[in-house]
Chain A
Amino acid sequence: MQSNQSFAEVFKAGGVSRRDFLKFCSLTSVYLGLSPSMVPTIVEAMEKKTRTPVIWLHGLECTCCSESFIRSSHPTIEDLIFNMISLDYDDVLSAAAGHQLEDVRRKTMKDYKGKYILAIEGNISTKDDGVYCMVGGDSFLNTVKETAADAAAVIAWGACASFGCVQNAHPNPSGAVPISDIIKDKPIVKVPGCPPISEVMTGVVTHFHTFGTLPELDRFGRPKAFYNTRIHDKCYRRAFFEAGQFVRSFDDDATRKGWCLYKMGCKGPTTYNSCSKIQWNGGTSFPIGSGHPCIGCSEPNFWDNGPFYTRLAEVPFLGSDSNAYKIGVIAVGAAAAGAAAHAAVTAVKKAKSGSEDNDKD
């Protein structure tokens, strides 16, 4: 196994001379607006700082996060894994397999104790000692606990690792839980989405690599840089929303005109993500751009907030055809019926007592 190289070593291996390397450092200081006295600091950092070691685990998941990740365009995946991070363990992308690969994971954990990033894709089955997700002969639950113990930070990739996704949707047969339910003592960055946008994933890694700190997080532990605003607030169809011009069925004229998908169950108004800014596949399009309502995949429990094509969620414990509106109407009806019944009893009692009074008289 090749040991983790510093940037200077990477440059040297790539045929860059010492002279050119120092030139590069000087130019960098100029670009960063630093004084000439800072050049030695940059040189030192470039010579000593190694690529960030990353262990990437796969639990209960569909690998859509990895599929998204390898399609990043800014930065490209090559740039990321050759120049920024050292992806030491990833059972999906590695050439090695089996015991050989598991040894690499343990070696990285030992060599870079407290310095490596643990990236987790998928969530953890906890029911029956986690027997519903076995990787490398051990339960994923144990593997995560073991690997997280010496990690600098944990990145939870995708809706699975962040919030649970489809595995822990009602009724959650395998007892799947998000990473944050198991790992409590490490900083966790949640990068939800099903999958997350590739540039968001590489952006989070780049941030950690560049600044050595985790990005600023919102109340759900998501990086603010990408999850600070709603799809709705940056949506190019927002004008149709404000105008009240809505698609009412997927084959009507409004669909062809590209009107707002609010009435088709679009979760854009309640979903925090960058789809309407960064878009997908190098800026090609995003769900709403392709005429499909947002399903809210970067929000907690989005599978339970269904159905996807209606505005309001069903209430799980009240059956499959209940929503806030129906419950409200029924409750108002019940209140009216109750008041009417009470009035009737009052009237009867009054009539009775009235006749009794008359009898007395």
Chain B
Amino acid sequence: MGRIFEEIYVWRLPVRLYHWINALCTVVLFVTGLYIAYPLFNPPLGEAVFYKGMSWWRYIHFAIAFIFIANFLFRMYWAVFGGDKYARFGGFRPWSPSWWGTPFREQVASYLFLRSEEPNYVGHNPVAALAHFLFIFCGSSFMIFSGLAMYGENNPGGFNSVWFGWMIPLMGGSYTLHWAHHLMSWIFPIYLIMHLYAVFRHDVVDRTSVTSSIITGYKHKVEEEPT
């Protein structure tokens, strides 16, 4: 094994906090959401007032959803005003032809095994940035907007109904909105698999300790084994 010769502080505390709160919220939201769609357990027979077989799942889903939203907004704040080199939007410019240029193509080629050399990035590589934009930014935004629209349905004319209710006709009706919320929730387990795989693979291939970096904040550069 090579010797560690450089430590780089990549993920600052706000980013790490966001990451783990987001991870936890997403898992809880997905599980409770599935349960709301497919309630499995039947409470024992008796009066309905004694049981909360459905309302607890819904309560947890809604409560965690608001934490998820707050965390997401915090991350947006940090991306724009944080002045954090590795956590800002600045590096991601899909509208710019230069962004689709060499670095992006090199990274794609490397993932497709068309290049033997692995480009190495301290922060997110261009493909990772695109994946995060699609799955985390767009995906979370859709889940937040559709979720709040559905949350507002029980209080017509209320805040959520007024500000997010436009999602309902946009998606063609309350039913199709629910359906889209269900379908889109699956991007999170898909993302999780891809994310974990990519992180572990980079850790093995590049030896940059990317897995532990989201706990410690540090990535390491390792000296090549002396030949």
Residues of A within 8 A of B (CB): 218-220, 224, 228-230, 233, 239-246, 248, 253-254, 257, 262-263, 267, 269-272, 296, 299-302, 305, 311-313, 324-325, 327-329, 331-332, 335-336, 338-339, 342-343, 345-346, 349-350, 353, 361
**Pairwise interchain contact B227-A361, C-beta atoms closer than 8 A:** yes
Residues from chain B with a CB closer than 8 A to the CB of A327 are: 183, 186
**CB of B101 within 8 A of chain A?**
no
**Pairwise interchain contact B156-A262, C-beta atoms closer than 8 A:** no
Of the candidates B111, B156, B172, B175, which one forms a contact with A267 in the assembled complex, judged by CB atoms under 8 Å apart? B175
Residues of B within 8 A of A (CB): 37-39, 41-43, 45, 48-55, 111, 113, 116, 153-154, 156-157, 165-166, 168-169, 172-179, 182-183, 185-186, 189-190, 193-194, 197, 201, 204-205, 227
**Pairwise interchain contact A346-B48, C-beta atoms closer than 8 A:** no
**Pairwise interchain contact B42-A244, C-beta atoms closer than 8 A:** yes
B192 to A: closest C-beta gap in Å = 9
Of the candidates A245, A254, A313, which one forms a contact with B51 in the assembled complex, judged by CB atoms under 8 Å apart? A245
A273 to B: closest C-beta gap in Å = 11
Of the candidates B174, B185, B189, B205, which one forms a contact with A272 in the assembled complex, judged by CB atoms under 8 Å apart? B174
Residues from chain A with a CB closer than 8 A to the CB of B52 are: 242-244
**Pairwise interchain contact B194-A313, C-beta atoms closer than 8 A:** no
Residues from chain A with a CB closer than 8 A to the CB of B41 are: 244
List 26 A–B pairs whose Cβ atoms lie within 8 Å, in order of A's numbering: A224-B156, A228-B156, A230-B154, A243-B49, A243-B54, A244-B51, A245-B42, A245-B48, A248-B42, A257-B45, A262-B39, A270-B178, A271-B174, A300-B173, A312-B179, A324-B179, A324-B186, A331-B186, A332-B190, A332-B193, A335-B190, A338-B194, A339-B197, A342-B111, A343-B201, A346-B204
- Name which residue of chain B comes closest to A233, CB basis: B154
Name the prevailing secondary structure of the B interface residues. helix
B202 to A: closest C-beta gap in Å = 10
Name the prevailing secondary structure of the A interface residues. helix
Residues from chain B with a CB closer than 8 A to the CB of A262 are: 39
**Pairwise interchain contact A328-B197, C-beta atoms closer than 8 A:** no
Residues from chain B with a CB closer than 8 A to the CB of A332 are: 186, 189-190, 193
**Pairwise interchain contact A242-B48, C-beta atoms closer than 8 A:** yes
**Pairwise interchain contact A313-B175, C-beta atoms closer than 8 A:** yes
Interchain CA distance A245-B176 in the complex, whole Å: 25
Of the candidates B39, B190, B201, which one forms a contact with A346 in the assembled complex, judged by CB atoms under 8 Å apart? B201
Residues from chain B with a CB closer than 8 A to the CB of A349 are: 113, 116
A143 to B: closest C-beta gap in Å = 29
**Pairwise interchain contact A335-B53, C-beta atoms closer than 8 A:** no
